[in-house]
Amino acid sequence: MTPQDGPRRLTSVEVAGRLGIKVETLYAYVSRGRISCTRTQEGSLFDPLEVEAFAARNRPRPLRRHGASTARPLMVLDTDLALVEDDELYLRGQSASDLARTSTVERVAAWIWHGDWEAPLSSPPTTDLAQVATLLASLPAGADRIDQLQAAAIGLGTTDPGRDEISQGALQRAGARFLHGVPRLLGDPFTPGVETRSVAETLWLALTPHPPRPEHVRAVDAALILTIDHDLAISTFAGRIAASGRASGYAVLSAALGAFASPLHGSISVTTVQLLRSVLDGAAPEDALRTAVRSSAARLPGFGHFLYADGDSRATTLLELIPDLPHGTEVTAAVTDLTEVVNRRSSQHPNIDLALAALVLAAGMHEGDGPLLFGLGRSVGWIAHGLAEQTERPLRLRPQGRYTGP
C-alpha cells in the first residue's frame, strides 16, 4: 500500500479534538517523542492509526472498588446521529447541508425519530396551548428566550396526560409537541389556520415584522436543521443523563436546556449578534472584535471550532442564504468585513454562532432570538439521543465519585 492509498492524515486541530487536549499540549507530546508527525507546507500531519493507538494507551483505567460496579469514563459515547468528517456535518449519513437546502425541519425530525420522512408529528391541541401561553405570559420581564423554552417544556409536559409513560412513543410525542408548540406559543396560537403552517413559517411570523417569502422560510428551516445535533455537546449529554434515569421527554428537554443556558454554549450567538450589530452601526471591525473578546466568555465569539480545520460547514451553508433576507445585503457585508480581519490575524473561520447572528439581524428578529432558533433545532437531537438512551441499561451514566476531602 502506498502512502496515498492509506487513511487520510489528520491535522493538529483534528488530533487535539480527538484526544480532548489543546493543540499546544499535542505539540508538547510531539517534542517529547510520545507521538510523531510529518511536517508539510500545509502544517503538521498525523497518522490516524498512531493517534488511535495513542488514545487507547492514554485512556483512563476504570476504577474498581470492593463490592462496587466498574465505573467507566464518560468522555466517549457511541452515537449514530451526527458525524463531522472532512469538515462536513452528516446526520445519519446524510449531508446536513443538503438537508438544510432541500428539506424541512419537520421531515428531518420525522426521519430521525421514526425512520420515515412522512411520519406525522403530533401538535399540541389549542386547549393545551392556551394553558401554556398563560404560563409564558406570567414569566418576569427579564425572562429570555431560553427561559421561555424551559417554561414551554414544563407547560407542555404538565398538559400531556401521558408524559410519565416510559416508551419510545412518549418521547417522540414530547418532541413533536415541543417542536410544533413553541413557534405557535411565540405568536398567536389561536390564529385561524396556524396549525397548517410549517414550523419555519410560524416562527418567521412570530419573530419578524416582514411578510414571509419562500427564501425567508428556507433560511429558518436551514438554521433549525443545521443545529439538530453536533457531536456530544454538554446539553446533549445532560439530556442523555436524564434519559438514562428514564425521565420523560419533557424532562429530557428541561435537563438539556439547563446546560444549554450557558455563555459557552447556547448563549454565544447573543454575544455574536452584539459584535455584528456593532459593525453594522459603524464601528471598525477591529474595534468591535476587541470589545467582544474583552466582554465575552468565548475567546472569539462567532469564529473557530475544534471539529473543523477549514471552516464550519454549517456556517457556510446558512451564510449562503443570508443575502436573500430583508436586511441581508448589509449584514453579509458586515460578516465579510469581520471575517477578513479575523483571517488576517488567525486561522479561525466563521462558525454556526456567527451564521445564526447574521440570520437574526438580516431577518429583523430580536437580538436574543439566536438561542431560540438554536435550542428549538437542537431539541430534535435531544429527543433522538433520549430515544437512543432508552435502549441502554438504565442509570449507566451515573459516574463514580473519587473522594478528595479531609
pLDDT at 297: 66
Identify the band that residue 303 occupies on the pLDDT scale cut at 50, 70 and 90: very high
- Checking if the pLDDT of 385 tops 50, the result is yes
Q: Which of 143-147, 149-153, 154-158, 191-195 has the lowest mean pLDDT?
A: 191-195
Share of the chain above pLDDT 70, in %: 93
- Checking if the pLDDT of 69 tops 50, the result is no
Provide the grid cell at 264: 459557552
pLDDT at 178: 98
d(C-alpha 204, C-alpha 213), whole Å: 10
- Identify the residue with better confidence: 305 or 338: 338
Identify the band that residue 20 occupies on the pLDDT scale cut at 50, 70 and 90: confident
Q: To the nearest whole number, what is the mean pLDDT of the chain?
A: 90
d(C-alpha 335, C-alpha 354), whole Å: 8
Provide the grid cell at 111: 426521519
- Checking if the pLDDT of 123 tops 50, the result is yes
d(C-alpha 314, C-alpha 227), whole Å: 8
Q: Mean pLDDT across the stretch 301-316?
A: 90
Q: Mean pLDDT across the stretch 174-185?
A: 97
- Checking if the pLDDT of 142 tops 70, the result is yes
Tell me whether residue 120 is exposed, middle or buried, using C-beta atoms within 10 angstroms of its C-beta: 0 to 12, 13 to 18, 19 or more.
Answer: exposed
Are 337 and 331 in contact, with CB atoms under 8 Å apart? no
Query: DSSP secondary-structure letter at 89?
Result: E
Are 7 and 50 in contact, with CB atoms under 8 Å apart? no
Q: Mean pLDDT across the stretch 119-125?
A: 93
Are 26 and 33 in contact, with CB atoms under 8 Å apart? no
pLDDT at 391: 94
Identify the band that residue 291 occupies on the pLDDT scale cut at 50, 70 and 90: confident
Integer CA distances (angstroms), 62 to 19, 55, 76, 324, in order? 18, 15, 13, 53
Interior CA angle at 129 toward 375 and 177, to 5°? 45
d(C-alpha 104, C-alpha 2), whole Å: 44
Which of 72, 70, 71, 108 has its CA nearest to residue 91?
108
d(C-alpha 244, C-alpha 391), whole Å: 9
Q: Mean pLDDT across the stretch 84-113?
A: 96
